[in-house]
Amino acid sequence: MVFSTRSLVLSAVWSSTMGVIADSSFNWDTLLPSTKLDWKPCYSGIECTRLIVPLDYDSSAAGNATIAIARYPSTSSKSDYLGPILLNPGGPGSSGVDYVVEVGAELATLLGNEFDLVGFDPRGVSYSTPAVSWFKSDAERALWVPTSGYPALDESANAIAEQWARAQVQGQLAEERGQGYLQHITTDNTARDMVRIMEAFGQEKLQYWGISYGSALGATFAALFPDKVGRVVIDGVLDMDAWYSANLTVEETDTDKALQMFADGCFAAGPNDCAFYAPSSAQITANLQALLASVKTNPLPVITPISYDVFGYTLLKNSLFTSLYSATSLFQLLAEGLANLAKGNASTIYTSFVQVPPFECPADSNSTSPPIPFHHNTFEALWSIACNDASAVNDTVSELQQFYFEAQKVSSFADLWANWRVVCSGWKVHRPGRFSGPVQAANTSFPLLVVGNTVDPVTPISGAIKTAQAFPGSVLLTLDAVGHTSVNAPSTCVFGYLREYFVNGTLPEVGTVCTPNAPVFPSSEGNSTASGRRDLKSSEAGRAIGAAQRRVTGH
């Protein structure tokens, strides 16, 4: 999932500057919305279209929405063509268009060129319309959105009370300014939109790969339309009851284990390969705790060529949390950042994990980068989908304090993660009759492939196990790795099973466990393993996809 603007994303950073590669080069207003897929060239190697769907599937009076869709087209002959695979990179609220624009080619390397690889912006998100927002301008958004991560709820004594009050403001703004459309921006409606997309492709059944929050979308689809499941992969799987009840505490079950793997991996790697090395794993953990305590009372000034801030407890917590999403690409950076921080220099860790360029009003700016388009609404889209989906919660400050107290028993990262509950406590919009579980089906028209990492900091494998049980016949594929979803711990083994599943409908044997290509702390002596070399292509494609997934979702 997402959690960040920087950190609350089922995978997320809240920066409106994330994933903007797609922006500058194409104007979606030039595409006429249609009930057909009217493909036009848009970005390099990509075709785009806008599909009309009902805003409210129960009433045409509510008017229409449009879904922005981008495909990396299949290059195979008509007889070899195997249809579209729809993709969701997580969030919620992240742009599937940006994802395919960035890594369509790499996805084709892994899955095959027999497929159209299709990214779409779920309703309310980015280039889809209406794009959800309760800000009247980018400047208004920039003044409200926490740029460098949600405040840690244990940073100060009044943090929960203050975040509660902000949540009330946000909930009321959203309600007042989102009248007419906001209640329809939900996962069940996006699942219905996926049926429309499939049908427009001329397909009877869905082919889909959803990661993180995309698991909630895929599983909800399978629960609502069990007879339309063609090939559905859910990867980095949420606990669906948690998702629909605004209580994501269970998602942090393995987060501290992931941090422990940092300490263990650093110790095992040795001083040459881990800059934060100490002569035992316990000592590394103790040094880290000492740093957390130190910046809490003595935050450090930080100025880099592109930004500046005060680096304190919240930013360090967010940096740690972000690094857990992708051990193989971020643990070494974290170690360097911590080592410099211990010397009183916060610039490395700040630059690597939480730096966001200061907001500039487009009109005032002489910056060479293009203005940030208003539809980069990752923040609003995330909270709209998350809180619209969840059962109404109405917690008081003291109830939230109790909630946080309980959540702390599950993870030391509850100070960041409990913000989900806090934010949704101020939410006022809930469409009556929306789907809210249980997420299950006695029989789907094809078994789901469910992928879970053994140490995932935001979607522990318990969610994959539970969801696999809710869809009899589905198969759990385990990736023995630390990190969030298979794309953040590239494994040729996993990618091979994905391809076999999509191409031939072959499921892995029950109990199959894959390993990642790269270790947590790659050795500076170069030589990855023999299998790492052999699988260079899929390793590289996987790394690129993981990096894009983190960019698009804001981690």
Ligand X SMILES: *[C@@H]1O[C@H](CO)[C@@H](O)[C@H](O)[C@H]1NC(C)=O
Contacts with ligand X, residue ranges (CB under 6 A): 35, 52, 63-64, 227, 247, 249-250, 340, 345, 347-348, 364, 366, 392, 394, 403, 406, 443, 445, 499-500, 503-504, 525-527
The least CB distance from residue 358 to ligand X, in Å, is 14
- CA separation for the pair 332, 323 (Å, rounded): 9
The least CB distance from residue 336 to ligand X, in Å, is 8
The least CB distance from residue 180 to ligand X, in Å, is 12
In the bound state with ligand X, the residue whose beta carbon lies nearer, of 51 and 327, is 51
Closest CA to 57 of 155, 159, 192, 203: 192
The least CB distance from residue 492 to ligand X, in Å, is 13
The least CB distance from residue 402 to ligand X, in Å, is 8
In the bound state with ligand X, the residue whose beta carbon lies nearer, of 18 and 51, is 51
How far CA 19 is from CA of 136, 354, 553, in Å, comes to 21, 15, 8
In the bound state with ligand X, the residue whose beta carbon lies nearer, of 176 and 227, is 227
List all residues 6 or more positions away from 11 whose beta carbon is below 8 Å from its beta carbon.
Answer: 1, 2, 3, 4, 90, 91, 94, 212, 213, 325, 458, 484, 485, 549, 550, 553, 554, 555
Name the region of 453 (left: φ>0; alpha: ψ -120 to 50; beta: rest): beta
CA torsion, ordered 100, 323, 158, 169, to nearest 10 deg:
0
Closest CA to 355 of 333, 372, 374, 377: 333
Q: What are phi and psi of 120, to 5 degrees?
A: -135, 150
- CA separation for the pair 61, 180 (Å, rounded): 10
- CA separation for the pair 263, 277 (Å, rounded): 8
The least CB distance from residue 472 to ligand X, in Å, is 8
In the bound state with ligand X, the residue whose beta carbon lies nearer, of 38 and 500, is 500
In the bound state with ligand X, the residue whose beta carbon lies nearer, of 171 and 210, is 171
In the bound state with ligand X, the residue whose beta carbon lies nearer, of 255 and 285, is 255
Q: For residues 47 and 104, is the Cβ–Cβ distance under 8 A?
A: no
The least CB distance from residue 280 to ligand X, in Å, is 26
List all residues 6 or more positions away from 44 whose beta carbon is below 8 Å from its beta carbon.
Answer: 25
In the bound state with ligand X, the residue whose beta carbon lies nearer, of 135 and 502, is 502
CA torsion, ordered 408, 335, 319, 214, to nearest 10 deg:
-80
The least CB distance from residue 27 to ligand X, in Å, is 22
DSSP state of 57: T
The least CB distance from residue 527 to ligand X, in Å, is 3
With H, G, I as helix, E, B as strand and everything else as coil, classify residue 475.
Answer: strand
In the bound state with ligand X, the residue whose beta carbon lies nearer, of 156 and 437, is 437
Closest CA to 413 of 90, 149, 235, 215: 149
Q: For residues 539 and 492, is the Cβ–Cβ distance under 8 A?
A: yes
Strands 84-88 and 206-211: parallel
- CA separation for the pair 375, 360 (Å, rounded): 16
Q: Say if residue 438 is preceded by a cis peptide, omega within 30 of 0.
A: yes
In the bound state with ligand X, the residue whose beta carbon lies nearer, of 46 and 269, is 269
In the bound state with ligand X, the residue whose beta carbon lies nearer, of 45 and 301, is 301
The least CB distance from residue 466 to ligand X, in Å, is 12
The least CB distance from residue 262 to ligand X, in Å, is 20
Residue found under tokens 């045409």: 60
The least CB distance from residue 43 to ligand X, in Å, is 26
Rounded to 10°, the helix 327-342/536-553 angle is 60
Structure tokens given for 505: 């409908």
| Buried/exposed code over 211-220 (b: 16+ C-beta within 10 A; e: otherwise) | bbbbbbbbbb
In the bound state with ligand X, the residue whose beta carbon lies nearer, of 228 and 555, is 228
Rounded to whole angstroms, the maximal C-alpha distance in the chain is 68
In the bound state with ligand X, the residue whose beta carbon lies nearer, of 64 and 203, is 64
Determine the residue type at 23. D
In the bound state with ligand X, the residue whose beta carbon lies nearer, of 228 and 550, is 228
Q: Which residues pair with 52 in a beta bridge?
A: 66
The least CB distance from residue 55 to ligand X, in Å, is 9
